[in-house]
Amino acid sequence: MSIICTTARRNLFRNARRTAITTLAISVGMAGLIFADAFITGMIDNMIRNGTASFTGDAQIHSRAYKEDPEAHHTIPAYEELARSLREDDRIIASSPRLVSPGLVSSARNSTGVEVWGVHPEREKNITRIAQRLSPESTFLPQKNSLVLGKKTAQDLNVSLGDHLIVSVADSETGERRQEYMRLDGLYSFGSDDMDGLVALIHAETAQHMLGRSEGGYTQVALSLKQSPRKAAEDTLLGKTYSSEEILFETWDKLMPQLYSLMGMTQWSMMILGGILFVIVAFTVINTLFMSIYERFFEFGVLKSLGTTRPQIIRMIIYEAGWLSLLSCAGGILLGGAAVFVVSRTGINWNDIEFGGMTIYEHIYPAARLYQFVVYPLIISALTLIISIYPALYIGYMSPSQAMKKSI
């Protein structure tokens, strides 16, 4: 280690209290940035999981015609062949075919429009959490004439479990109105009126009969993938495998563009938060270095008189900033890592809070990522060194006589 570097380290601790306060301020700021990034990452992961597990699944396959015109007669061509391929694909955990159509649910008091899903109950349980969000006395489509509604829809219709309702849809070929008398066996709730008033679920065979579709006639297949939703959104191989001229494979980011846009907004939020921290760091470092320089004007004058060169003086100040950033980054990594570790074990209870159109119904756990402990410290270190150039040049270009006069 050079004499200049050693001297810079010793100079930094000549006023240990000021150095400790500055180091603590930068460390706490960096720890806050690391924790905020981890928390937001965990929250977005939570919202993606909730979104995909509520209705859409990790991905869906449907006909291209259905994408342009979501009507029940646009079913998936060659479904049996597709189903066989999905069963044999190791990248896919489970699949659930659906027959979806606009419909009307009527009680003795009221009527409301819904999206009617014809599903296979046991297969749908592997894709969504609708069955897990049922009220205690509910059952998930135990009979062919069973009906499952959202809590909001049931309130609008003024019905409760065990009541009978009429479900109406239009025949996919003739447009003729078809009706079935069904028993309300299940009520689900995701804590959001928008989500709880969206879908009515009936048995797939019942839906096929009402819509005039043969067995194997489905408008979409919802998928659960082995990959995490974030990685699935970036992977194009599955899309190439299952997309063709007639069918289309789409991951959650295409199915829920509003949630994907929210991710971009949070990235901008982190950039703004980081910018505020960097400004605070800049003023803190400049203040500390200038205070250190003003206390040692006479010493710098003596050093210059004894032949210490301008580059050596400049290097000394920059090295001091380097030691300061090293201590601050180490402290920030330790504090931030400890905060993320502790909270990731307990989680933060935001249950039933609606954010960005999605309801959070699980604890949020901060998600630690390697870049949080590498990129942010590197940026802080680089910023500290850049900021130190100004005070270093200030004292470096001062003549010995000027330095000694300022110290008097």
Give domain status of residue 236, yes or no. Answer: no
> Domain ends where: 226, 246, 268?
226
User: For tokens 């309801």, what's the residue?
Assistant: 359
User: For tokens 């590197």, what's the residue?
Assistant: 378
Nearest to 86 by CA among 57, 64, 66: 57
Domain count, the chain: 2
Angle at 287 between CA 281 and CA 292, to 5 degrees: 125
pLDDT at 108: 86
In whole angstroms, what is the distance from residue 118 CA to residue 121 CA? 9
Domain membership of residue 154 as a residue range: 59-226
Q: Are residues 172 and 105 in the same domain?
A: yes
> Domain ends where: 204, 226, 248?
226
Give domain status of residue 12, yes or no. Answer: yes
The runs of H, that is alpha helices, within 114-255 are: 121-124, 151-157, 193-196, 204-211, 229-234, 237-242, 252-255
Nearest to 167 by CA among 135, 127, 128, 210: 210
Angle at 344 between CA 339 and CA 347, to 5 degrees: 110
Q: Are residues 44 and 63 in the same domain?
A: no
Q: Are residues 318 and 190 in the same domain?
A: no
pTM, full prediction = 0.79
pLDDT at 338: 96
Give domain status of residue 266, yes or no. Answer: yes
pLDDT at 317: 87
Q: Are residues 19 and 70 in the same domain?
A: no
Q: Are residues 84 and 217 in the same domain?
A: yes
Q: Are residues 187 and 309 in the same domain?
A: no
Asked whether the beta carbons of 28 and 21 are under 8 A apart, the reply is no
pLDDT at 405: 67
Q: Are residues 192 and 276 in the same domain?
A: no
pLDDT at 406: 60
pLDDT at 295: 77
Burial of 302 (0-12, 13-18, 19+ CB in 10 A): middle
Give domain status of residue 238, yes or no. Answer: no
In whole angstroms, what is the distance from residue 322 CA to residue 325 CA? 5
Q: Are residues 201 and 68 in the same domain?
A: yes
pLDDT at 408: 44
Assign residue 181 a region: left if phi > 0, alpha if psi is -120 to 50, beta otherwise?
Answer: beta
> What H or E segment, with its residue span, contains residue 271?
helix 257-295
pLDDT tens, per residue, the chain with 408 residues: 577 788 777 877 777 888 888 889 889 989 998 999 999 889 888 888 888 888 999 999 999 999 888 888 889 998 999 999 999 999 999 999 999 999 999 998 899 999 999 999 999 999 999 999 999 999 999 999 999 999 999 999 999 999 999 999 987 677 788 999 999 999 999 878 878 888 999 999 999 989 888 777 899 999 999 988 888 777 778 888 898 889 999 998 888 888 778 777 877 888 888 888 888 888 888 888 788 777 777 777 787 787 778 888 888 888 888 898 999 999 999 999 999 999 999 888 877 666 656 667 778 899 999 999 999 999 989 988 888 888 888 888 887 777 666 654
Angle at 185 between CA 180 and CA 187, to 5 degrees: 110
